[in-house]
Amino acid sequence: MCFSLLCWQVEIKNLNSFSAMNRAIDFEISRQVSLHSQGQSDQIVQETRLWEEGGQKTVTMRKYKEGLSDYRYFPEPDLPEVILTEDYVGSICSSLPELPELKRRRYEKMGLSMQDVLFLANDVNPPRMGLRCLLESYACLTLLLVLQYFLQTILMLERLVFPLAG
């Protein structure tokens, strides 16, 4: 699986519009990711938080209820249940494009110059004109030199055609 789930539900109160709901969700995601990345995952608990519109943040209202029954979660009768199987999530993860950082590492291991690595890894479009085939199947220094010449030519042409870009 491409991610791990934290199983704490946070209830947010005082949401008076859809835009406030979006901001509260964005804030709560950042708060939990920040705590998790700082090694403070134990501070992410099931609780009720209050959305403060003025401060654009959530604050704790209630913590540590006795159990799930205290939260009284009820299924929404108008919404169908969504079931995400591991196979389905895995298929979505495998269909995502390769991240630029992983591309950079892979191209660095191939011995490409940093300029070429950055050009290829940060290109939003898939490599053009068979470049992907060259990268995936290069087997000798000669091909690497041809590839570097090819990349320098592409960079030069892009600068001529799009002088204001990048």
- The pTM score is 0.43
Residue 36 lies in a domain: yes
Query: What is the tens place of the pLDDT at every residue in 126-146?
Result: 455 455 555 555 455 566 677
Residues 83 and 108 in one domain: no
Domain count, the chain: 2
Residues 128 and 153 in one domain: yes
> Last residue of a domain, which of 56, 78, 95?
95
> Last residue of a domain, which of 95, 130, 148?
95
Residues 90 and 106 in one domain: no
- Determine the pLDDT at residue 85: 93
Q: Give Cα separations from 139 to 12, 80, 106, 130, 136 (angstroms).
A: 56, 53, 15, 16, 9
Q: Which domain holds residue 139?
A: 100-161
Query: What is the tens place of the pLDDT at every residue in 78-126?
Result: 888 888 999 999 999 889 888 888 888 988 887 878 887 887 777 655 4
Residue 64 lies in a domain: yes
> Last residue of a domain, which of 37, 62, 95?
95
Residues 15 and 59 in one domain: yes
